[in-house]
Amino acid sequence: MAEPVLSVRDLRVEFVTRRGALKAIDGVSFDIARGEVLGVVGESGAGKSVTGSAVTGLIDPPGRITGGEILLSGYRIDNLPPEQMRKVRGKRIGMIFQDPLTSLNPLYRVGDQLTETIRTHTNLSASGARKRAIDLLAEVGIPAPDRRIDSYPHEFSGGMRQRVVIALALCAEPELIIADEPTTALDVSVQAQIIALLKRLGRDHGTAIMLVTHDMGVIAETADRVAVMYAGRIAEIGPVRQVVQNPLHPYAKGLMGAIPSLKGDTHRLTQIPGSMPRLSAIPPGCAFNPRCPFVFDRCRVERPEPIARDLHPVACHLYDEAPARTESVA
């Protein structure tokens, strides 16, 4: 089996406050293979973006990585000095953020921003970097790239700006791209175009993609596998078709049940009661237990570990057949 591009093992991130350390990520593990898209989904506060920031070395104080390992193509990067990590970002790890307008400097032409990034991470000359920038703009679908390269960010539409940001992420042909809510600020038709573009680029370049989103519809259209996160842990991870069509964890079931059917069914959508717990008030046992319709006594005292079920792991006591369950009303 080929070595994964990204391997995260038992990652732990905390934020130190006056009231003590708050665990934002608590034992997260996953791999992403070459050319694979891993979708990371969950409500706001689940830990999706913090996980991406940890991979890119962008956890700022008072946040810190307190445990685990992050390996990029077999080499550990979570313990690199800041100067070395800056060389990894941009060259080996590309980033696509939610709002393309704030991702680009409004005072510089997009060509200047592209060529600067290219020359920082490659040995190309100024003319060679400009030619590569034009080629990248063409590849991501910018019309007349030889003219638009001299435009400013405000002269592009939202969808075109996001295409420029994707070109920026591809400048140095990275092994991994972290895409954090790349379609949220776009309308539905443009979302579909950006999704198709990410899938094609990942396939053509063999780039591993970590797609962070709260939208299960985007996951279903884009990802090869999906990790469902809740309160800083992975509740369920597996092939996207299995998780979407047959979710196992009650939280994953709730997320899928909240998506309207395109078949015209008139059944009521699922509503998950309550909200994501604050970092300072994560309940003992399974963090989802106050909101879970299937909760029983063990859920309130013992944190579930991932259990292999239907070829993918799920962290839920419902699938641990060894101990007898004591049922109780939630």
Tens of pLDDT, residue by residue over 202-221, are 888 889 999 999 888 888 88
How remote is the C-alpha of 43 from its chain's centroid?
12
Q: What is the mean pLDDT of the chain?
A: 89
Q: State the total domains in the chain.
A: 1
Residue 168 has pLDDT above 70, yes or no: yes
The Cα–Cα gap between 92 and 57 comes to 13
- Write out the E strands in the chain: 6-17, 20-32, 37-41, 63-72, 75-76, 93-96, 176-180, 208-213, 225-230, 233-239, 307-309, 312-314
Question: pLDDT confidence of 122, banded at 50, 70, 90?
Answer: confident
Domain membership of residue 63 (yes or no) is no
For 28-60, b where at least 16 C-beta lie within 10 A, e where not — what string? Answer: bbbbbbbebbbbbbbbebbbbbbbbbbbbbebe
> Which residue range forms the structural domain that includes residue 169?
93-173
The Cα–Cα gap between 90 and 118 comes to 9
Residue 190 has pLDDT above 50, yes or no: yes
Instruction: Give the dihedral sign, CA 296/297/301/307.
Output: negative
Helix (H, G, I), strand (E, B) or coil at 267: coil
Average pLDDT, integer, range 125-149: 94
Domain membership of residue 249 (yes or no) is no
Domain membership of residue 254 (yes or no) is no
Of 181-185, 238-242, 264-268, 315-319, minimum mean pLDDT range: 264-268
Domain membership of residue 50 (yes or no) is no
The Cα–Cα gap between 256 and 29 comes to 23
Domain membership of residue 144 (yes or no) is yes
Residue 248 has pLDDT above 50, yes or no: yes
Average pLDDT, integer, range 259-266: 68
**Gyration radius (Cα) of the chain, Å:** 21
**175: which 2 tokens?**
């092994």
Tokens 């990034």 identify what position?
Answer: 117
The Cα–Cα gap between 14 and 21 comes to 6
Domain membership of residue 158 (yes or no) is yes
**128 CB-contact burial (10 Å; exposed 0-12 / middle 13-18 / buried 19+):** middle
Q: What is the predicted pLDDT for the residue at 269?
A: 79
pTM: 0.89
Residue 324 has pLDDT above 90, yes or no: no
Domain membership of residue 155 (yes or no) is yes
DSSP states along 163-214: HHHHHHHTTT--SEEEEESTTTTS-HHHHHHHHHHHHHHHHHHT-EEEEEES
Domain membership of residue 138 (yes or no) is yes
